[in-house]
Structure 1
Amino acid sequence: MTEGHPTMAGNRTRGSRHRARRLLFGLVLFGALATVLALLGPGLVSGLRTPDGSLVLRPECVVETPDGEVGLDREAARRATTAVALLARGMAAPDTTGMDPAVLQRLAEGPSEDAGPVLACRGSAASDLHEQQAGAGGLTPRAEELRTAMAEVFGEQSLGGFAPGGVDQGHGADSTHYDGRAIDIFFRPVTEETRRQGWILAHWLVAHAEDLDIQFVIFDDRFWSARSSRGQWRDYEAPAPGNEILRHLDHVHVDVLGGSPG
């Protein structure tokens, strides 16, 4: 009886061991991923159900409606929030044909139980912006563009947080107000109705954040950041004494990205 070639036998043995190690590594990796997903929950890879029940990846923007989440691309979110803002003023609005009526109603009225956020969009902070200085009006060109865009949709507003020549007090030590990058839009007195009006603006700002280089939106004990990949609203921890102003209950704070020195 002839025996197999020892080199070929060794190769087969090593090949079997290599395949076994690869299989074991794959099982360990799969188990680790499953553990991470179980710990972090469905939000990490969250999706939305379409009317036919199929699962799709989470879209750029999401509106919470009584029947569940409705996904929108960024253009649809801009159009919806602009339509709601203009209709509230009795003005002609962009065409929303084909858009879920529940989305528009939710954006206009907010949650039924209490005023609050219903729209969130993924953050997208540009990294190639040049640093800007405040102009004669106290705002940087990007912040001035933001103010103009708001006026076109919301009309005359009660604004603060900036002044000709700039501001140097009345805000936190590192406030973007001192750089001319921030605007406060007031909704006073604080009532459920004025809070709902404030959220109409806050949603519009988030939907237009990518176009207007918006960095932060703060309102009503919540904040949104363009640097958040998921773009969810988070609880805002106001400094002491935590009054209406510091908690941003009576105004929406919005600031633009600062950019980098050229």
Structure 2
Amino acid sequence: MTHRSTGSAVVHRRWHGLILSVAILAVLATIGVLGTRWVVENQDRIFPVSAPWGPECSVWTGEEQIKLDRDQAQRASTAAAVINQGDSAPVEQPDVDDIPDEVMDALVNGPEDDAGPSMSCRYSGEDVEFEEELPSGMTPRNEAMKAGIEAHFADTSIGGYVPGGYDSGHGEGSAHYEGRALDIFYRPVNEDNRREGWLLAHWLIAHAPEYKIDVIIFDDKIWSTRYPSMGWRHYDADPDNEILRHLDHVHVDVLRGTDPSAGA
């Protein structure tokens, strides 16, 4: 009798555990389905995000989120920069006939009550070769990005690098110490310069795969390849420090790659 009772209890516990596991899985599956459905149905009200499905980029117009493929995002962000710069633009405006007018208006003029962000894109990075810092104080990838910025934006004030490289003056682990980062300044801090900065930030995020960009920080916002679908996130910094909050400059750094000597 004792053995039968014990065996029955064991079977009962196993069935109870199985039923409980199935119930938990069913609840999680329901939450997942409902959550996914909510995201799909409410994408137009979620900003800034770039969902891990469909086109790589999106623009928030103030009323809806319009999806763009990478080429459209690059042409739209370039056109917005050209329109803003007028006759001083160093490049011609690309064709944007396939871009909705409301997208271009959002990129050129920014949200009515704020400067940005309006565009978000996803890019999770890629395997790249590790590059040593050159005498310029930049890696080759960083030099290419600097050249790209200067080719599209006139009269830029670019810093964040020095010949020979930095060994102090930036936060611990900063990409500036490896020659992988640039700071593009928009001073003084005011609404006009904020809008100028967001024109560049949008151009950078649209061209992230081309220049192997890893991180962009501006105006209390950060985008990175670490969380590619989350878009622009809040950037925590000393609320009384305009520099640390990146209000006066756009910070951008390129992918590092794996240093082959690190494991030696």
**Does TM-score exceed 0.5, indicating one fold?**
yes
- Provide the identity percentage: 44
Contact 1:37/1:44 (8 A) holds in 2: no
Alpha-carbon distance, 1:140 to partner: 0.2
CA RMSD between the two structures: 2.5
Cα distance in 1, alignment partners of residues 122 and 180 from structure 2: 21
Alpha-carbon distance, 1:59 to partner: 2.2
SS in 2 for 1:152: helix
Cα distance in 1, alignment partners of residues 129 and 115 from structure 2: 37
Matches within 5 A, 1:91-240: 91=89, 92-126=92-126, 128-238=127-237, 240=238
Q: 1:46 to 1:245 in 2, by over 3 A?
A: same
Contact 2:83/2:108 (8 A) holds in 1: no
Cα distance in 1, alignment partners of residues 198 and 168 from structure 2: 27
- TM-score (normalised: structure 2): 0.80
Matches within 5 A, 1:16-27: none
Contact 1:46/1:58 (8 A) holds in 2: no
Contact 1:209/1:226 (8 A) holds in 2: no
- Aligned AA for 1:78? Q
Q: 1:100 to 1:249 in 2, by over 3 A?
A: same
Cα distance in 2, alignment partners of residues 250 and 37 from structure 1: 43
Alpha-carbon distance, 1:231 to partner: 4.0
- TM-score (normalised: structure 1): 0.81
Which structure has the bigger radius of gyration? 1
- 1:84 paired residue number: 80
1:257 aligns with 2:258: no
Cα distance in 2, alignment partners of residues 235 and 214 from structure 1: 19
Contact 1:48/1:71 (8 A) holds in 2: no
Cα distance in 2, alignment partners of residues 109 and 93 from structure 1: 16
- 1:53 paired residue number: none
Cα distance in 2, alignment partners of residues 176 and 46 from structure 1: 37
User: 1:106-152 CA deviation, whole Å, 9 max, x = no partner?
Assistant: 001111011120111112201x2111111111100000000000011
Matches within 5 A, 1:14-93: 29-38=25-34, 42-43=38-39, 58-90=54-86, 91=89, 92-93=92-93
Contact 2:186/2:194 (8 A) holds in 1: yes
SS in 1 for 2:210: helix
Alpha-carbon distance, 1:96 to partner: 0.6
SS in 2 for 1:135: coil
Unaligned runs of 5+ in 2: 1-17, 46-52
- Aligned AA for 1:93? Q
Alpha-carbon distance, 1:32 to partner: 2.3
Alpha-carbon distance, 1:37 to partner: 4.6
Out of 243, 246, 250, the residue aligned to residue 245 of structure 1 is 243
Cα distance in 2, alignment partners of residues 41 and 236 from structure 1: 29
SS in 1 for 2:141: helix
Q: 1:144 to 1:98 in 2, by over 3 A?
A: same
Cα distance in 2, alignment partners of residues 145 and 81 from structure 1: 19
Cα distance in 2, alignment partners of residues 45 and 138 from structure 1: 48
Q: 1:255 to 1:44 in 2, by over 3 A?
A: farther
Alpha-carbon distance, 1:160 to partner: 1.2
Contact 2:56/2:69 (8 A) holds in 1: yes
User: 1:206-258 CA deviation, whole Å, 9 max, x = no partner?
Assistant: 000011100000000000012223141000011x4741100000000000010
SS in 1 for 2:203: helix
Unaligned runs of 5+ in 1: 1-20, 50-56
